[in-house]
Amino acid sequence: MKRIHKVAVLGAGTMGARIAAHFANAGVPSYLFDIVPPDADGPARNKIAAAGLEAAKKSKPAAFFDPSLARLVTIGNFEDDLKRLAEVDWIIEAVVENLDLKRALLKKVEACRLLRPIARAPGHDRKLRGRPQAARRS
């Protein structure tokens, strides 16, 4: 059986941030990536992912079994950090329901992963057509 050592969650909204939290609860480190806000520089480039993580930390009921587990989630963005996908065993796509955005993102992911399988949040993108070959294998 293959063990999952690290995951990446693409999309830091309510669903994506909570998925990252549940992996942390299981002791699995994750990357939580989202878009770069317009005109953002430096650490502000991760502002959206940071906000998703902060919301998960404050959610009721709690997303993290213990607040200290949030340390297992590393934030990033789709422009600067996709190269980190080479480090993960599983990629979960949980971005907003915008097919053009999903297609563009999956093309970038495919380039970073060299056709390694991609996993998605079940039922999240049933209408996605024309997916990259790597995405079709999941």
2 occurs within a structural domain: no
8 Å CB contact between 96 and 13: yes
**Full domain range(s) for residue 12:** 7-136
63 occurs within a structural domain: yes
119 occurs within a structural domain: yes
Tell me: the pLDDT tens digits for 33-88?
A: 999 999 999 989 999 999 999 999 999 999 999 999 999 999 999 999 999 998 99
CATH classification of the domain holding 64: 3.40.50.720
Confidence of residue 133 (pLDDT cuts 50, 70, 90): very low
CA–CA–CA angle 67, 69, 74 (5° rounding): 115
CA distance 131 to 129: 5
User: How many domains does the chain contain in total?
Assistant: 1
* pTM higher than the cut 0.85: no
14 occurs within a structural domain: yes
What is residue 84's three-state secondary structure? helix
55 occurs within a structural domain: yes
> What 8-state DSSP symbol labels residue 36?
P
123 occurs within a structural domain: yes
* Residue 89: C-alpha distances to residues 6, 41, 42, 63, 122 (Å): 6, 30, 28, 22, 17
104 occurs within a structural domain: yes
1 occurs within a structural domain: no
pLDDT of residue 25: 98
